[in-house]
Every structure is written in structure tokens, then in C-alpha cells.
Structure 1
Amino acid sequence: MHVRDFCGRIWSEKLKRTGNMKQNRSVLFIVLLILVMTGGFWAWKGMNSSKPYKETQFLMDTIIEITAYGPNREEAVKAAFDEYRRLHVLTNNFDANSQVSKINQMAGKEKVVVDPDLVQMIKRSVEMADKLDGAIDITVGPLTDLWGIGRKGDFVPSQAQIQAVLPLVNYRLVQIDEKNNTVYLPKAGMMLDLGAVAKGYATDKAIEILKEKGIKSALVNAGGDVRVIGTRPDGKPWRIGVQDPRNENGVSAKMALTPWDTMETSGDYQRYIMHNGVRYCHILDPHTGWQPKSGVASVTIVNNNSGDGDLFSTALFVLGPEKGLEKLRQFPGNEAIMIMTDGRVIVTPGLKGKVELTGKSGDQ
């Protein structure tokens, strides 16, 4: 019913019942005021919901930024960060009291009861290691501890030191009991390092929480690993840039995250040391104990599954363009942008025409 007709009906009925013009005018004024105020409230609420709530925290050894739109956006973002924090506490191998540290401390001694999320994280990593020819291995802990990138200055271990710990790196030895939520490393000195899986897993969980809180438009950037919900509030897709590995302020490629919602990047520019003019990054080949000699500077995976994206990007960094892209073809729905140390940018066929390159392109 039109507002004018509705108010006219109220006016007529009041006239017939009371015959008091003054009272009728007061009633009409109140009705109109309520309608105006109600309309104004919903207009204000709509405009207010279009404003973002943004928060940044340092967790999981990286800077995480969440931007969300809509009602309850602040509450949703804080709940998502609580989940990041919870999983960080479980997986932080630099914290002697974390559950991952407890597993490492009990290597060769006994099983450790852990959180079900940690069991699932480890299980998925082991399954994917088999499928990716061992290029990703969560038992790489003895090697990452030996290298200590970011913690030991420009220290580079000797081949003898690397050979001494390589026998401890073998994901096939990890024993997982899903029923009792236990994990066991059978050799003393074995160590888990979930750096290639924990952040992606946590981002998936954070996204779930944002959606449960009713968020339909959001962007999560966890140290270059990006995940989105829906589109921007204006209906346009989220456009994301892939960092130039040799220029922290530069972008090598740009694309809209449609129909994908995830971009995961592994690169040699985030954590590394320079020793005698040579770059040594934190990504290690589990088979050799050294940095991969694949000529790759960064790998960005585009898909709809954040948890697997980190595993793929790390594995392709180790395998290199030829073996890595051949392996990726076995997993439909995953696309890649590979930036080589010589500046070439290689894009998989599924991204053809969807990526704007700012550098020189290579074969697809």
C-alpha cells in the first residue's frame, strides 16, 4: 500500500471515531514521523554496512590482514583472528609448549595426544606428499632447524652437516591415529615443520568462521596468501597483484579472483639470507637438504582450496617448471603463475586471458 493511502486511511478512521481534528493531526504526524525515522534507520544501516572493518595482526610468523563488510563485521573478524591464534598455538614449533613441539620432543619415545585439527593437518600433508613425489615433506624440521634461516645470521651448513640429518626426513614414517588423535615420530631427532600447511589450513578455518557470522564480502591476506569471500561491496571482483620477487614494491601479474577465491604464493624473497653473493631461501628440497635449483623465484597457485594451495606452491617451487607443471595437470581446478629468477612469468592454460602480466612472459 502507498504511504499516502495508508496515512489517509488512518486520518479518515480517526475522524469518524472522534471528530477531533487536532487529535487526528497529531496521530498523522506521529505516523509520518515513524515512517521517516524507520526509512532513515534502514538507509543508515545500509550505508554503515558498506564500510569495511579492517584489522591486522602478526601471527603464524607473518602479517595477517582481514577486511570484511556487512553487519557483525567487527565481531566476525575478531572471531577469525581467534581461530588463527588457536591454530598458531598448536603448530608453532618455536614454542616449546605447542603440540607440534611436544610431538618433536617425544620423537622415538611415545605417541602424543593432540587436537583433531592438528591430526587432520598432518594427515593431509602426508597424503599430498605421496601425490607430489615427496617435494613437500612436513618432517623437514631437522633441516629447517639446521639452516635456521632468519635466526642464524648468514650461516650456511656444510654438506656433511646436511647429510647427518637427511635420514630423519621421511614423511612415510609419521604414524597417525585418527581414532585416538595421536601422532608419533618413530626416530629420535625427527621433527615436524608445518610451515607449508598450517597457514593455509588456518585461513580455511578463518574463512569458515567469517561465513558463519554472515559475512558475504571479505578479503584475507595472510603474508601474500590471499582468500576472498564473494565480491567487493560494489559487485566488482577482487583484483589481486602477484608481487615481483625482486622488487618489494613491484607487481609481476594482476588478476581478478573470479571464479577462484584463493591465491597462495611461495617464494624465495620472503625469508632468505645472502652469503657470498648467493641467495639461500627458507624453502628446502627434502631430498637434498639444499635450496631447489629450479630457477624459480615464486609460485602462485590459484584455486578454491586454501589448505592445498600452500602445499602445491611449495612443491612446484621445489620441482621447477617442467616437472611441477606436469604434476599440477593431475589436479584439475588448480592453476599457477610461476615467476622465474630471470624474470620470465609462466602462466598455466586455465589462466590464459585472465592474467595481466607486467613483466616478460614465458611458455605456458
Structure 2
Amino acid sequence: MKQRQWLALCLAFVLCLGVGGCNKKNEPYKETQFLLDTIIEITAYGADAQAAVKAAMEEFRKIQPLTDHFDPASQISKINQNAGIAPVRVDPEVIGMIRHAQELSEKMDGAFDISVGALTRLWNVGHNGEYVPEAAEIEALLPLVDYRLIQIDLVQQTVYLPKKGMYLDLGGVAKGAALNNAVNALKAKGITSALVNAGGDVRVIGRKPDGKAWRIGVQDPRNSEGVMAKLTLDQWDTLETSGDYQRFFIKDGVRYHHIIDPKTGRQPREIASVTLVYQDSAEVSDLASSGILVLGVEKGLQVLQRFPGVEAIIMTTDGRLITTPALAGAVGQ
């Protein structure tokens, strides 16, 4: 499935469950843009909703020129271009995202790693047709993947990759940072009811105008028109999903998707979809559901215990639906 088709379907599921049913007195202001290589949809209610949504959307635009590794002029691209050559001075926000990514990597035993870029470029799923690299090509790049090698100088505000060929891909954290900034922008404008959907990663503010909690559909990873779970965000304000159905191709009966295990250079095979649900806070913010997918069910659930208050819905590739205990009564089919 093409990426934009999947994103459009994902938006349809979220919006039909989260926005529908409101009366005409509470018509939302909605805006959609394609930024950070995904579809961003912001829906807000209130007298200043239009101005608030535009301010929130601007936060995504600000992040893009900093972190877009496809843009040779971005700050992340400058870091990559200077790997093994020299440190690169960057904005404090870029430093913050990289440090946050390193902390996540440590907590997830390296299953999430922004230095995996050399491998994601090699596979280039979603951009390079049905290309399957040779084992030797993968093995040659594995020494370039290690978040612990990334050098940050807080005084000089520089980032340095010590090995030529190292490549950062901030896709796993840039969207979350922009999402947080967008929500803060909405709140600064006095918005008390809103939904921000960044390619399937969702943040809500308050409740819908009718007083009901936002209800979000989680896509069935093997049915593009189906919902495998419906979740009411009454205790949580954040939902993020990673899956093997978002960007993929099938060749000779094998599914190759865009999530790469940093330690093997290949796609993990046990989990089809992971959805994390939590209340965003200083202690728990901008997690990496892809890391849980890489770890697999048993290890993933163990690692999840390091993040208090975070719950999960996991669909395995053989069709098992697994939830953490707190979601047992919250997930509706």
C-alpha cells in the first residue's frame, strides 16, 4: 500500500470516531497539511480555533527544516554530511531531540536508535521499490549504528558523528516534538477541546464539546478498512502507533516494512502493530512504539514497565490481540 493511501485511511478512522456526532453549534475548525513526511490534521473547537490551529500547524513547519534528512540543507543533513569530518552547530531544539532519543534508546535496550539511518537508507522502503539488500550490504553498515557514538557538545551546541557513513534519522522523535509544541500552541490560544493527528500519532486536549471523551479507532494491520480496537481517551491524552503495514512491500511472499531492527539490520517479524497510550507528562513523553515492535511481545512488555502509566495494544503477525491489564476493560471491539 502506498504511504499516503494508508495515512488517509488512518485519518478517516480517527476522525470518524473522534470528531463525528458534534452538533452545528460546535462546528470545529480543521486544517490538513503534508509535513514531516506525513499528513498532519488538527481539529479544534472554540472562538479562536482558526488562529489556534494555524499557530499549531506552524510548529510542524518549524521542525521540518531542522530534521528532514531528505533535505540536504536541513540541520540533520548537515550532521550526516559531516560524519567522520567535523562537529556541526545546530539549534538547541535539535540537541534536545537527540538527547531525548538517546535516553529512549537506553531505556529500550537499543531497540530504538536514531543512528539507524544508514540501514533505513539502504532499504529505503516506500521510496525505492521492492529492493531487498544483500546480506553483505547489511552487515557492512551495522558498525555504523550505535546511538552511544553520537557526540554532543552542550557548550558549543554541536553534534558529531565519529564514523564516516553514520546517518541520523530523527523521524521517530521529530514528529513527537512537533506534536508537543503544537498542543502547547493550541493551549496558549485558550483551546480546551482539540485533536491533533500526526500520521496516526494522536494528542487530544480535554473532551469533545458535548462532554464526551475522545474515542479513537486503531486500524487493523491486516485490513485497511477495519478497526481492530476502539479506545476511549478518558484517562489518557496520547496515542501513538507503529506497524508493519504503514510503509511496506511484499516480495516472494515476504513482507518488508520500514521498521528496521538496529541490531540486525532487518525487519522484526513477530508484531504487526503496537499502539501505546499514556498521559503526556514530564516523566513520560514522546515514546517510541517502534522500539516495542522491534523487541517483540515478551521483551517489549518487560521494557514497557520502565515507563510508568504507559499502556499498550499489540497485534501479532499471527493475529493475537494483546493488551496491558489497564486496557482490558477500555478497549472495545
- TM-score (norm. length: structure 2): 0.90
C-alpha displacement at 1:208, in angstroms? Answer: 0.6
Aligned partner of 2:13 in structure 1 is none
SS of 2:114's equivalent in the other structure is coil
- Tell me, in whole angstroms, the C-alpha distance in 1 between the residues paired with 2:287 and 2:186: 23
Aligned partner of 1:230 in structure 2 is 206
- Tell me, in whole angstroms, the C-alpha distance in 2 between the residues paired with 1:252 and 1:306: 27
Residue 255 (1) aligns with residue 231 (2):
yes
- Tell me, in whole angstroms, the C-alpha distance in 2 between the residues paired with 1:150 and 1:326: 31
SS of 1:285's equivalent in the other structure is coil
State whether residues 136 and 311 of structure 1, in contact with CA within 8 Å, keep that contact through their aligned partners in structure 2: no
Residue 148 (1) aligns with residue 124 (2):
yes
Number of matched residues?
310
Q: Which residues in structure 2 correspond to 1:338-349 (within 5 Å)?
A: 338-349=314-325
C-alpha displacement at 1:179, in angstroms? Answer: 3.0
- Tell me, in whole angstroms, the C-alpha distance in 1 between the residues paired with 2:162 and 2:27: 53
**Larger helix proportion, structure 1 or 2?**
1
Residue 199 (1) aligns with residue 141 (2):
no
Greater relative CO, 1 or 2 (CA 8 Å, sep 6+) = 2
State whether residues 219 and 228 of structure 1, in contact with CA within 8 Å, keep that contact through their aligned partners in structure 2: yes
Residues 332/221 of structure 1: CA separation in 2 closer, same or farther (3 Å cut): same
Residue 133 (1) aligns with residue 109 (2):
yes
What are the Cα deviations for residues 240-260 of structure 1, in whole angstroms up to 9, with x where unaligned?
Answer: 011000111100000110110
- Tell me, in whole angstroms, the C-alpha distance in 2 between the residues paired with 1:296 and 1:212: 39
State whether residues 284 and 290 of structure 1, in contact with CA within 8 Å, keep that contact through their aligned partners in structure 2: yes
- Tell me, in whole angstroms, the C-alpha distance in 2 between the residues paired with 1:253 and 1:306: 25
- Tell me, in whole angstroms, the C-alpha distance in 2 between the residues paired with 1:128 and 1:331: 10
Residue 302 (1) aligns with residue 277 (2):
yes
Unaligned runs of 5+ in 1: 1-46, 359-364
Of 220, 230, 244, the match for 2:220: 244
Bigger shift: 106-115 or 305-314?
Answer: 305-314
Letter of the aligned partner of 2:272 in structure 1?
Answer: A
Unaligned runs of 5+ in 2: 1-22
Q: Which residues in structure 2 correspond to 1:11-90 (within 5 Å)?
A: 50-90=26-66
State whether residues 172 and 288 of structure 2, in contact with CA within 8 Å, keep that contact through their aligned partners in structure 1: no
Aligned partner of 2:11 in structure 1 is none
Letter of the aligned partner of 1:121 in structure 2?
Answer: M
What are the Cα deviations for residues 92-150 of structure 1, in whole angstroms up to 9, with x where unaligned?
Answer: 00000001000000111111111111110000100111111000000001000100111
C-alpha displacement at 1:178, in angstroms? Answer: 2.4
**Amino-acid identity (%):** 60
Q: In angstroms, what is the RMSD of aligned CA positions?
A: 1.5
SS of 2:64's equivalent in the other structure is helix
What are the Cα deviations for residues 293-338 of structure 1, in whole angstroms up to 9, with x where unaligned?
Answer: 3x10000000123996664311110001100001111211100000
Residues 285/218 of structure 1: CA separation in 2 closer, same or farther (3 Å cut): same
Residues 291/309 of structure 1: CA separation in 2 closer, same or farther (3 Å cut): farther
- Tell me, in whole angstroms, the C-alpha distance in 2 between the residues paired with 1:145 and 1:241: 31
SS of 2:183's equivalent in the other structure is helix
Aligned partner of 1:96 in structure 2 is 72
State whether residues 95 and 101 of structure 1, in contact with CA within 8 Å, keep that contact through their aligned partners in structure 2: yes
What are the Cα deviations for residues 184-219 of structure 1, in whole angstroms up to 9, with x where unaligned?
Answer: 111111000011111111101110110011110000
Residues 144/245 of structure 1: CA separation in 2 closer, same or farther (3 Å cut): same
Letter of the aligned partner of 1:299 in structure 2?
Answer: V
Query: Whose radius of gyration is greater, 1 or 2?
Result: 1
